[in-house]
Structure 1
Amino acid sequence: MPLWIPITIAAAFLQNLRSGLQRQLKGRMGSTGATFARFGFGFPFAVLYLVALHRIGDMPLPTPNAVFLLAVTVGGVAQILATFLLVYLFAFRNFMVGTAYSKTEPVQAAIFGLILLGETVSWLAFAAILAGAFGVALISVAGRGDVRIGKALFSREAGIGILSGALFGVSAVCFRGASLSLEDGGVLIRAATTLVFATGIQTLVMLAWMLLRDRAELAAVARAWRPALLVGLVGVTGSAGWFTAMTLEKVAYVRALGQIELVFTFASSVFWFREKIAPLELVGCLIIAASILTLLGAAT
Structure 2
Amino acid sequence: MELWIPITVAAAFLQNLRSAAQKHLKSVMGTTGATFVRFGFGVPFACLYLWLLGSVGGYSVPSVNADFLFWVVIGAFGQIGATFLLIHLFSHRNFAVGTAYSRTEPAQAALFGLIFFGETVSAGALAAIAISVFGVMLISVAHMQMSWRNLVTSVFARNAMIGLASGTLFGISAVAYRAASLALGGPNFAVQAAVTLVWTICLQTLVMLGWMLWKDRAEIGRIVKAWRISLFTGFVGATASFGWFMAMTLQQAAIVKALAQIEMLFTFAATVFFFKEKINRYETIGCILIVLGIIVLVLLR
TM-score by length of 1: 0.98
Distance 1:101 1:90 in 2: 11
The answer on whether the counterparts of 1:41 and 1:232 sit within 8 Å (CA) in structure 2 is yes
Q: Which blocks of at least 5 consecutive residues in structure 2 are unaligned?
A: none
Mapped pair 1:77 → 2:90: no
The aligned counterpart of 2:221 is: 219
Q: Of the candidates 261, 264, 277, which is equivalent to residue 263 of structure 2? A: 261
The aligned counterpart of 1:105 is: 105
Q: CA deviation at 1:228?
A: 0.5
Mapped pair 1:64 → 2:49: no
Q: CA deviation at 1:220?
A: 1.0
Distance 1:145 1:211 in 2: 46
The aligned counterpart of 1:165 is: 167
Superimposed CA distance per residue, residues 23-51 of structure 1 (whole angstroms, 9 cap, x where no aligned partner): 00011101100000000000111001100
Tell me the amino acid that sits aligned with residue 9 of structure 1. V
* C-alpha RMSD over aligned residues: 0.9
Distance 1:153 1:284 in 2: 15
TM-score by length of 2: 0.98
The aligned counterpart of 1:6 is: 6
Tell me the amino acid that sits aligned with residue 238 of structure 2. V
The aligned counterpart of 1:186 is: 188
Q: Which blocks of at least 5 consecutive residues in structure 1 are unaligned?
A: none
| Local SS of the residue matching 1:37 | helix
Distance 1:279 1:77 in 2: 37
The aligned counterpart of 2:24 is: 24
Distance 2:10 2:208 in 1: 27
The answer on whether the counterparts of 1:63 and 1:183 sit within 8 Å (CA) in structure 2 is no
Superimposed CA distance per residue, residues 103-147 of structure 1 (whole angstroms, 9 cap, x where no aligned partner): 010000000011112211001211110110000000111023555
| Local SS of the residue matching 1:115 | helix
Distance 2:96 2:14 in 1: 15
Superimposed CA distance per residue, residues 230-275 of structure 1 (whole angstroms, 9 cap, x where no aligned partner): 1000100111100000000000100000000001111111111111
Q: Share of identical aligned residues, percent?
A: 56
Distance 1:156 1:220 in 2: 29
Moved over 3 A (4+): 144-147
Number of aligned residues? 299
Tell me the amino acid that sits aligned with residue 286 of structure 2. G
Q: CA deviation at 1:184?
A: 3.0
The answer on whether the counterparts of 1:112 and 1:170 sit within 8 Å (CA) in structure 2 is yes
Mapped pair 1:201 → 2:203: yes
Distance 1:60 1:141 in 2: 50
Distance 1:245 1:6 in 2: 9
Tell me the amino acid that sits aligned with residue 35 of structure 1. T
Distance 2:170 2:186 in 1: 27
Mapped pair 1:119 → 2:115: no
The answer on whether the counterparts of 1:82 and 1:163 sit within 8 Å (CA) in structure 2 is yes
Distance 2:107 2:186 in 1: 31
Tell me the amino acid that sits aligned with residue 235 of structure 1. G
The answer on whether the counterparts of 1:63 and 1:184 sit within 8 Å (CA) in structure 2 is no
The aligned counterpart of 1:87 is: 87
Q: CA deviation at 1:78?
A: 0.4
Q: CA deviation at 1:211?
A: 0.6
Superimposed CA distance per residue, residues 151-200 of structure 1 (whole angstroms, 9 cap, x where no aligned partner): 31111100000000000000000000000000231110000000000101
Distance 2:161 2:184 in 1: 35
Distance 1:229 1:285 in 2: 30
Note the 1:26-41 alignment, pairs <5 A: 26-41=26-41
Tell me the amino acid that sits aligned with residue 163 of structure 1. A
Mapped pair 1:276 → 2:278: yes
The aligned counterpart of 1:51 is: 51
Distance 2:216 2:205 in 1: 15
